[in-house]
Structure 1
Amino acid sequence: MLGWALVFALLAVLAGVLGFAGLAGFAATVAKILFVVFLVLLVATFAVRAFRGRSVL
């Protein structure tokens, strides 16, 4: 999921450089959403592993 967020972030930068403002804004929004979902899942995974007594790292 983090990989997709990075792909959309790079797409947003490339579209912004080429002048496609609408596409750049959309790709940046998708990248932000995917990054937040990634962070939420990461924290949830750490919490579940910590409660079960497993190593978090």
Structure 2
Amino acid sequence: MNPAQVVHDGAVLAPLQFGGDLIGLAIAFLVLAIVAAIAGASGVAGLSMTIAKWLVIIFVVLAVVSFVL
């Protein structure tokens, strides 16, 4: 059993964990947006920034849910 898991009434409970993939993807899309903006591709930059923003929002919501539960 993983040390992060908790046994409660015979059920094994594990916290919500995604391994940091969401925040890593958000950083990658942010870098892509900055490079695209420097290169003059405003459409790609805007789309990449929107994707990065939503990934950060999803990350924060899942982090809050995992702390509460």
Fold match by TM threshold 0.5: yes
TM-score (norm: length of structure 1): 0.83
Unaligned runs of 5+ in 2: 1-21
What is the aligned-residue RMSD (CA, Å)? 0.3
* Correspondence for 2:67: 46
TM superposition outliers: structure 1 runs of 4+ over 4 Å = none
| Percentage identity across paired residues of the two chains | 40
Q: State the number of aligned residues.
A: 48
TM-score (norm: length of structure 2): 0.69
Answer with 1 or 2: which has the greater Rg.
2
Q: Which amino acid aligns with 1:6?
A: I
> Which protein has the bigger helix share?
1
